[in-house]
Amino acid sequence: MEVNNRYITITNHIQGSAKESDFELKVVPLRLSVEPGSSKVILKNLWVSIDPYQLNRMKRYSSSQKTIQSAVRITPGQPIDSPGVARVLVSDDPEFVKDDLVAGFVHWGEYTVAKGGMLRKLDPEIDLPLSYHAGVLGISGLTAYAGLFEICKAKKGDKVFVSAACGSVGNLVGQYAKLSGCYVVGCAGSRDKEETDLNSALARYFPDGIDIYFDNVGGEMLEAAVANMNTCGRVAACGAIAEYSEGAKRAAPNMIDVIYKRIKIQGFLVTDHMSLHSDFLSTTTDYIHNGEIKVQEDISSGVESIPSAFIGLFRGDNVGKKMVKDCR
């Protein structure tokens, strides 16, 4: 059987901010069968997560910029992989059979052809919305969990600051920290302020200083956080949304602060912390069942809504985790 697979791709490597014309909807025939021995799985995508980090994979880089390894770059015309939830249609992987529900990396489109090893079978007994597995119980949640507990070693009494606190990751960082007995303040959408304002605002909210900064934005907010940090403060560098677009001012944290206060600034990617997954999943599922973690989602429908959903992230359009459903 053959279907038309509709998916979103980029038309070119993006310069500056993303705009609608950087994206196109492609329609490509797809045979719903897999070669024996290929270990491949064909999925019907149910939920697709929309995350700001994808912009880094889409951007144009000069040949000397080695930041983003070519393996993780997105090629114009090709499907874009992204956290999501899907149903198995056809499988050559013995781990999966037709109609299994899975979470993992799917494409921004109707169908995904994947290797089974990258997918996690969902327990149909878990009475939580399927979409959660592409967000709070997926990559977003594990990112918050790994950054806060593994990179920053958050413990009771720590004073925690988190930026982009309305986003999918920041929102959970705040909730995890509070549930661990930390004092938490978040910020959102304030990255246009003057540095001096940020500095004194943080001094007001943190009269006893900041122990942990979970950084999703970079830029002047990172500078202000470092200036207000306590001895042995820790920064989990998770995102730098204020620095993603071209010409943006980069963070220049005061290195004399970093040295004298023995501050650690550590970048991390969630894919290095998959060993935490089962701990994270049981902890978070319990929190949600007990009503201790509130999940906020911002949902659009249909493959064609993906570009505007993505572009909206950088305008702060979304409240909570941005998701697209009904990719058909």
H helices of the chain, in order, are 54-58, 139-145, 168-179, 195-205, 219-227, 255-260, 277-289, 306-313
- Cα–Cα distance, 161 to 139 (Å, whole number): 21
* Pairing between β-strand 120-121 and β-strand 111-115 as defined by DSSP bridges: unpaired
Interactions with its own copies, residue window 38-77 (CB under 8 A): 56, 64, 66-69, 72
Give the shortest CB-254-to-its own copies separation in angstroms.
Answer: 6
Selection from 171, 172, 124, 184 nearest residue 145 by Cα: 172
* Residue 115 touches its own copies, criterion: CB under 8 A: no
Interactions with its own copies, residue window 245-264 (CB under 8 A): 249-264
Task: Give the residue with the Cβ less far from its own copies, 75 or 271.
Answer: 271
CA 235 to chain centre: 17
- Cα–Cα distance, 17 to 19 (Å, whole number): 6
* Residue 201 touches its own copies, criterion: CB under 8 A: no
- Tokens for 160, please give them: 């925690």
- Cα–Cα distance, 280 to 146 (Å, whole number): 8
Task: Give the residue with the Cβ less far from its own copies, 190 or 231.
Answer: 231
* Residue 204 touches its own copies, criterion: CB under 8 A: no
- DSSP type of residue 130: G
Task: Give the residue with the Cβ less far from its own copies, 85 or 172.
Answer: 172
Point out which span in 77-85, 114-122, 236-244, 289-297 binds its own copies (CB under 8 A): 236-244
Give the shortest CB-218-to-its own copies separation in angstroms.
Answer: 4
Identify the residue among 84, 141, 174, 239 touching its own copies (CB under 8 A). 239
Task: Give the residue with the Cβ less far from its own copies, 87 or 264.
Answer: 264
**3 state SS of 183:** strand
* Residue 173 touches its own copies, criterion: CB under 8 A: no
Binding positions for its own copies, rule: CB under 8 A: 56, 64, 66-69, 72, 199-200, 203, 209, 215, 218, 222, 227, 237-240, 243-244, 249-269, 272
